[in-house]
Copies of this chain bind each other. A is one copy, B any other.
Amino acid sequence: VTERGRAALLALAVGGRGLVDPEEPVLRADDDALLRGRAAFETLRVYGGSPFRLDDHIARLAASAERLGLPRVDPDAFRELTAVALAGAAAPDASLRLYWTPGREGAGRPTALALVSAIPPHLEEVRARGIAVVALSLGIDADRRQVAPWLLGGVKSTSYAVNMAAQQEARRRGSDDALFLSLEGLVLEGPTSNIWFREGRTLHTPALDLGILAGVTRDTLIGAATARGYSVAEGAYELDRLVVADEVFSSSSVREVVGVVAIDGSRVGGGAPGEAALELQQALRDAAAG
């Protein structure tokens, strides 16, 4: 997406070692994270020095690790590592990424990493204008990932090559991001975000049983929207429903709430970020401020 670029790595903490110079190599060549993309990860936002909903992110990391067959995640160890990394960066607003790799092939010595990076530049410009997305099929039937755990639906692993290739395809088509559809054409999620649309005072977002990621920000917004008098529905939606909706927006931890102003080259929601996107972005910031 357009705000991509070098997200300057401000601080790095490594399990068992504490703060480590980000310039220092920390993974061996035969780490399973490199060899097979078999590491669990989380990305979260740090507001005013506090990682937002850290425990929920660590819980999801633990669930991903279990599904990937990795050693058990110790939540306390990740909380400590996070504190070390954040103290090392001294950036009140930042992006925090947590990684849990199984370690060297066959050795069974996992590694925990906490990376603090600068917020990508131009994010507020992107939020002001909104993004254009293209719908790309994942080619998988919507019910499949519920019954086929090996497809890792809802698991946040570092095997993100398809997600990145989809974003690349979107940019090749002159858009900012991709929106994944199921085989049947049901709307699923973005490569790194959840998707929403508004019809009057009702907000809709795809249901988790479609095998999508259970976004922590998605969950925050469900609560915030309900508290502000919206009805929130989780369901299975055709793309057409979004095209004619009052507005469309995406949610993710670092990019937060961003309006979607075009789908497949056609304007949606009047071609500008909508009122719910603006209101929920503010609500998210309020929630983060405590």
Contact = CB atoms under 8 A, between A and B. Distances in A.
Contacts of A14: 29
Interface in A15-50: 20, 22-31, 33-39, 41
Given A34-B34, A150-B169, 19 more contacts: A4-B106, A7-B30, A9-B29, A24-B28, A25-B25, A25-B28, A27-B27, A29-B113, A34-B99, A35-B97, A36-B160, A36-B163, A68-B164, A139-B140, A139-B141, A141-B183, A150-B166, A150-B168, A159-B161
A137 interface: yes
Contacts of A25: 24-28
A162 B26 CA distance: 25
Contacts of A252: none
Given A27-B29, A29-B22, A101-B34, A148 B136 contact: yes
A227 interface: no
Interface in A175-195: 178, 183
Interface string A95-127: 001010100111100000101010000000000
A138 B69 CA distance: 19
Copies assembled: 2
A165 interface: yes
A229 interface: no
Interface footprint category on A: 35 or more
A22 B192 CA distance: 34
8 contacts: A5-B106, A9-B105, A29-B113, A34-B34, A136-B148, A140-B140, A141-B183, A157-B161
Nearest to A30: B9
